[in-house]
Amino acid sequence: MNFEDLTNLTEKGAVINEEKKRVELAVTLPDGSKSRIAGYFPSKNIQVIAYDIHKRDMPDINFEKSGMGRYLRVNCCKSGRCELKRKDGKSAYISSGEVSMDYYIDDDGTFSLTADYYVGVEIIMQVDNVITEIPTLAMLKKAIKRMDLPDYATNINSLYFVESSEDTRNTLDRLLKYCFSDYDCEAIIIKIAELGHNIGTDLTTSSPNVHTFVTPAQAHIAEDVHRSLSERYGEKWTADIFAKKYNLSASTIKNYFRNVYGCGFKEYQVKIRMTKAAELLRDTKTEVKEIALKVGYHSRAKFGEAFNNYYGVTPFEYRCNASIERAESSS
């Protein structure tokens, strides 16, 4: 976790600012958007990682190091979705507006992206040591005491989830802005202390969010379904098809998918088809009838109805609006 241990990240394209103890990795995507990870390392007992990821194939720069001892991990999700894995191999998933907290030993706890994007902050610290070094962060220790936690002497990696308040979300927004605007460590520490105070208040005013923990086998099935719906979106997929493949009920398949991706099987299928249709309408001159077939609709009328329900305009209107926007932006 020492900042000095991160110099090898330059091989992956990371930019290191030794004075600010800051590391950033940015990747430009084909559509012009950027995925970014920014890390701050004020001391060997704390690290702050800000994520603004818009593609799942972001390089893994693996900030977490072994030999860290027993640490508190706090994840605050602004938008998107990610996986948090326990020591026993089971996973839970944090979504927009949620905060998760847990203790872990060394690098047993892991974080990975499961949605198409994720924006949030992860804070990892050895609480007692970091408070000795940075008294401002005593707020976080107060927050921990307000959690109805199990006995972590025997139950490491249990996850506690709570819905964030407006104050917490506003502080998270500012912290993300600071992290991606190359602020000094001192400003980051102040915002973390404010975030800890707000989370502590949230823990006293809100009941914990109940989450279903997913086994690796269940996650594998959900990922197979997700891959099929995403990559072969023009084909006719039903939950029954996967139920037969895995010798499970259709409702079980749907539950696995929702537990991992946070939305229903049918809901995601419509989303991916409409997203692809909008892309074709916006960026190509392909006829509407052909686009309908490409995204799984054999009836142009049914496609038009589905598109209108999703975007509030007909495919023709969407294409015209996109053409007007392009003309205005180029003028």
pLDDT at 64 over 60: no
Q: Do residues 76 and 101 touch, judged by C-beta distance below 8 A?
A: no
pLDDT at 54 over 50: yes
CA–CA dist 280, 315 (Å, integer): 10
Taken as a whole, the chain contains a residue count of: 331
Mean pLDDT of 74-83: 91
Domain 3-205 architecture:
Sandwich (2.60)
Question: How many CA atoms are closer than 13 Å to the CA of 46, on its beta-carbon side?
Answer: 25
Mean pLDDT of 314-325: 92
The ranges assigned to domains in the chain are: 3-205, 216-330
Whole-number pLDDT of residue 289:
94
pLDDT at 56 over 70: no
Q: Record the pTM.
A: 0.80
More confident position, 210 or 250: 250
CA–CA dist 221, 246 (Å, integer): 8
Question: What confidence tier does 130 reach under pLDDT thresholds 50, 70, 90?
Answer: confident
Pick from 143-147, 247-251, 267-271: least confident: 143-147
Question: What confidence tier does 17 reach under pLDDT thresholds 50, 70, 90?
Answer: confident
Return the SS3 of 222.
helix
Return the SS3 of 171.
helix
**Identity of the residue numbered 158:** S
Question: How many CA atoms are closer than 13 Å to the CA of 29, on its beta-carbon side?
Answer: 15
Whole-number pLDDT of residue 330:
74
Helix (H) or strand (E) holding 43: strand 34-43
Give, in words, the CATH class of 216-330.
mainly alpha
* Residue 89 CB coordination number (10 Å): 12
Helix (H) or strand (E) holding 204: helix 185-205
Whole-number pLDDT of residue 247:
97
Q: Do domains 3-205 and 216-330 have the same CATH topology?
A: no
Question: What confidence tier does 326 reach under pLDDT thresholds 50, 70, 90?
Answer: confident
* Residue 200 CB coordination number (10 Å): 19
Q: Annotate 307-323 with b (16+ C-beta within 10 A) or e (fewer).
A: beeebeeebeebbeeee
- Calculate the average pLDDT of the chain: 83
Q: Do residues 93 and 120 touch, judged by C-beta distance below 8 A?
A: no
pLDDT tens-place string over residues 81-104: 888 877 777 888 899 999 988 876
**Identity of the residue numbered 14:** A
pLDDT tens-place string over residues 18-43: 888 898 888 776 666 778 889 998 88
